[in-house]
Chains A and B, each alone.
Chain A
Amino acid sequence: MEIYEMTASETAEGIKAGRFSAVEAARCGLSRIAKFDGEVNACVTVTEEHAIATARRVDGMIARGEDPGPLAGVPYIAKDNFCTKGIRTTCSSRILENWIPTYNASAINFMNGAGAVLIAKSNLDEFAMGSSTENSIIGPTKNPRDLGRVPGGSSGGSAASVAAGYVPLALGSDTGGSVRQPAAFCGIQGMKPSYGEVSRFGIVAYASALDQVSPLARTVGDLAMALNVIARPDPNDTTCDAYDRPDFAASLAMRDLRGKRIGVFAGFEAEQMDAELYGALTKAAALCEAAGATVEPIDLPIAVKYGVATYYVTALADASSKLGCFDGIRYGTHIDGPTLTDMYANTRTASFSEEVRRRIILGTCLLTEGFYQNYYGPALKVRTKMAMEFEELFSRIDAYLLPTSPSMPYPMGTKETDPTRLYLGDIFTVPISLGGLPGINICMGFTPDDLPLSVQLVGPRYGDASLLGIAGVIERVVGRPGAAAPRKLEEVR
């Protein structure tokens, strides 16, 4: 088995056992990038020098008999909206094109502290606003399983990196599905933890109330391993919960689903989603039942009907204020003008793409008098209603199965002209974000054309550990398809 085919835990074990070095693992990932990324375009910045130096340090520790941590020498890639000290962090935006942070995001510090080796920063839809990773200063990222299709987004670069075998593990941020949906499109596993599980410190915000650091990997076990490293209290983020986390990996000892009650989403008409994905959901439900769970169809009328509208109202309002700091004064692109207002306008018009400007302007409108009463106020009420719906749901069941995306990965350049349709692609992910719930994308297999079929498994707030356990059982019975290498990628070269 090649190093790049290994999971994160196999990689760490191999390095700790001395079968190969951390430097070899890093070089393996870097060579995969060199080989494929000209085509896939998943990486904004490759951090080779930093990666080799870090890997050497890990090898040195192992040589001295020290424990570099659970992710010893595991190469990883972080979405380019994670601040990395001394390494350019662009958010795929012109406004931060040449910005080099002076500090690390907490999640980056936790990964480094566990022995992981950052080898690249990955592409995203500018400021995480999008679902296809097409809207970026470095151009679109392609789906490694079909280079004519989008990888999903906004963490499309991270998902593509894991699918293409650059790294076994990547970090993304999920605001309304930005990790779960690209994981679904690229045929890997991706998890948005409960809101408050992982520190947001150092993530360039899209929407403070919804952003959550989220791992992507080829197995559920690796997701749990990553969560053990990054999910911890952080004094730098007061919205990150201070509670003592359980051992997320321990829940993977779950052998079957006997005694588990699992709900299956029932509130859609078949034409609302691609048939293959309806099949994947049915298959997942059947597997759960076979594994011993009691399965019942459950509707989520409020969450699905009002989720997208509520999400865009709250997220865009949040974003319009969070992106105000990009005024061209302290950092980032600065374009002068005769007056202060001209300077703001010149800088922001030239440096934000149309989609980012659209969202800022929408968010700004939503918070102005009149609009606030008609949109933001009701959105908050609906969010409360949805929270009640979820509370009722998880009083009856342990986990809930629903699609991750209503559609299969679509061809590049086909959807971005119609923002409303694009936004509707988030119908199954945004309610989970609004509820602050944990959600995992599980790859259920592939079509004959190697297009991934995925489902989303959701649990109650802070039920992350048990959710990973159930996902692990489903992954095992379906045969770990997320670990499969993209069939068409090797043919490209």
Chain B
Amino acid sequence: MADSPLSSKNSAAAKRPVVIGLEVHIQLNTKTKLFCPCSTDYIGRTPNTNVCPICLAVPGTLPLLNDLAVALGSRMGLGLHCEIQNYSNFHRKNYFYPDLSKAYQITQYGLTIAVGGYIDIEPEGRPKRVRVHHLHLEEDAGKLVHPTADGRLTGAAYSLVDYNRGGVPLSEIVSEPDMSSPAEARDYVIRLRQLARYLDVSDGEMESGSLRVDANISLSNPDGSLGTRVEIKNMNSLKSLERALEYEISRQNKVLDSGGRIVQETRLWDDAEEVTRSMRSKETASDYRYYPEMDLAPIVITDEQIEDFKRAMPELPWEKRERFAREFGLSGEEVAILTEQKELARYYEETIAAGAPPARAANWVRMEVLRVLNETGTSISDFPLGPSVLAELVKKVESKELSSTIAKDILDTLSREDITLDEAVKRSGASAVRLTGCLLDEVVDRICAANPGVVETIKSGRDKKGGKMKFLQGLVMKETRGQADPSEAAGSLSKKLGA
């Protein structure tokens, strides 16, 4: 490990402050592309089937702006506490590459739909505000396909291009360089993704590419001035984001420690080798020859529309967290888990609305529902056991009609099989009538009669630690198949054995 860059992590030089800014692209949840009526559903499609004259840049065609993309971009902007601009426009970002049919990408530049704003993050319990510089709309590029074994360009005799993704609407969110550790960057992305999902603006899946992160990272100089910035691309998960930033911090520290200089460049994260590699020297903005897109009328969003967007905003993650804590008296950790996905939060609230007590329902959703979802790999939206059924189940436990052990079995059964709660209860063997009073006493008598040795031990006062008593209790519970209340069973045993 001595020559691994990661080992320099603890060296004295590693105290150089880290400065990280992120550019996050999210694919907006629209059915059609940003400037044409083609479908945005490109994953797994036959190449070049979701295309039309507009996204193929057939001569004479003109872009048509998708209004929903503007609405979603504005909504995300509002969620980020940005100011929505009444007037913004598009530019052409010019560069030649086969994945770009027009030889320019239509993107916002200068005048963007949303500016300013922030996200409050809390990595490892330490709150921090990360400022957002702006949010803009742009179109995605197509995809090159290289006919080599590893799918890489090197060694390919030719390349193919698939324009299915070309023109898919993206919203790029550019942060200020306010993050100072990989953990903060990770939390920023988590919060941003959660917001996008709460707002139904994007799926935010990093693996499938509907959320992409580029990181700019530099190490400050001893005098506090900013160091040279390096851009890192190609991080396809939160884990690779964190690893790539950690790698880059140690790499830059090593370079600086050895008296070298950081080169301004773009580096690609190699997930398999866990290193970043130089891609190209950083292109400056002027190389793109930005030019106003005269084929599109400017985007005009009136104050009235902005008010409409605001009114249509759903409850935001932090608002929900605050309300859950206040209304349901839950702990911070409980709230965090229950509100992570708005669908789970809604499930929880519906369970309460159906009569389940909040604290107990919180435990059930957190412990049992999430367990089953994890085991079966389903999402809460596809979970077959509805909140009203869960509420019934929780109520039965609350009223001691069912033991929690049996109730958990029933929850498992209901998540697997399409049967009613009553059928599941019946099948579990638990009768609707609870075993209590003299019926319970009868079982206790039977168990004591069958275990004379143990009874003798207890009666003679030799069961100092209560282990034998527990043993008998267990037998009673087993015999009653959980239909007895454990504390009542214990009481009945104590009475009989005088312990």
Contacts and interface: CB of A to CB of B under 8 A. Distances in A.
A321 B106 CA distance: 11
Contacts of A201: 60-62
A148 interface: no
A325 B102 contact: yes
Contacts of A325: 57, 59, 101-103
Contacts of B64: 235-236, 238
B62 A318 contact: no
A325 B104 CA distance: 8
Interface string A315-336: 0011011001111011100000
A201 B60 CA distance: 6
A105 B62 contact: no
A117 B80 CA distance: 56
Given A96-B59, A205-B60, A324-B94, A330 B53 contact: no
A83 to B, nearest CB: 4
SS class, residues of chain A in contact with chain B: loop
Interface in A226-240: 235-239
B59 A83 contact: yes
A369 interface: yes
Interface stretch (B238-246, B290-298, B383-391): B290-298
B59 A367 contact: no
B53 A238 contact: no
B90 to A, nearest CB: 11
Contacts of A236: 62, 64
B373 interface: no
Contacts of B285: 369
B62 A238 contact: yes
B53 A367 contact: no
A105 B289 contact: no
Given A367-B94, A368-B289, A321 B104 contact: yes
Contacts of A295: none
Interface in B44-83: 53, 56-65
Interface in B150-206: 161
A200 B103 contact: no
A63 B292 CA distance: 51
Q: Max chain A CB contacts within 10 Å: which of B62, B287, B293, B295?
A: B62
A96 B58 CA distance: 11
B106 to A, nearest CB: 10
B296 A327 contact: no
Interface in A108-150: none
B98 interface: yes
Given A209-B294, A325-B103, A237 B62 contact: yes
Given A83-B60, A201-B60, A330-B56, A318 B291 contact: yes
B98 A329 contact: yes
B96 interface: yes
A238 B297 contact: yes
B225 interface: no
A204 interface: yes
A41 B295 CA distance: 33
A238 B293 CA distance: 12
A105 B104 CA distance: 22
Contacts of A89: 59
Interface string B462-496: 00000000000000000000000000000000000
A375 interface: no
B284 interface: yes
A268 interface: no
B4 interface: no
Contacts of A101: 58-60
Nearest to B97: A340
A105 B53 CA distance: 12
A318 B296 contact: no
B92 interface: yes
A375 to B, nearest CB: 12
Interface string B83-119: 0000000001010101001111000000000000000
A330 B57 contact: yes
Interface string A45-77: 000000000000000000000000000000000
B399 interface: no
B286 interface: yes
A102 interface: yes
Contacts of B61: 201-202
A321 B53 contact: no
Contacts of A367: 94, 289-291
Nearest to B293: A208
Nearest to B290: A367
A360 to B, nearest CB: 11
B211 to A, nearest CB: 29
A327 B96 contact: yes
Contacts of A200: 62
A102 B54 CA distance: 12
Nearest to B284: A369
A265 interface: no
A407 B297 CA distance: 36
Given A331-B58, A367-B291, A324 B104 contact: yes
A205 B294 CA distance: 11
Most buried by A among B96, B161, B289, B296: B289
A306 interface: no
Contacts of A202: 60-61
B62 A340 contact: no
A239 B295 contact: yes
A330 B101 contact: yes
A321 B291 contact: yes
B89 to A, nearest CB: 12
A483 interface: no
Nearest to A318: B294
Q: Which of B104, B291, B293 has the most CB of A within 10 A?
A: B291
Interface in B258-310: 284-287, 289-297
Nearest to A373: B286
Given A208-B293, A236-B62, A367-B291, 17 more contacts: A83-B59, A89-B59, A91-B59, A102-B53, A102-B58, A103-B58, A204-B59, A205-B295, A238-B63, A238-B295, A320-B94, A320-B289, A324-B94, A326-B59, A330-B56, A331-B58, A369-B286
29 contacts: A83-B59, A89-B59, A99-B59, A102-B58, A201-B62, A203-B60, A204-B60, A205-B59, A207-B294, A208-B295, A209-B292, A209-B294, A235-B64, A237-B62, A239-B294, A318-B294, A320-B94, A321-B103, A321-B291, A324-B94, A324-B96, A324-B104, A325-B57, A325-B102, A325-B103, A327-B103, A329-B161, A344-B96, A369-B285
Interface of B: 53, 56-65, 92, 94, 96, 98, 101-104, 161, 284-287, 289-297
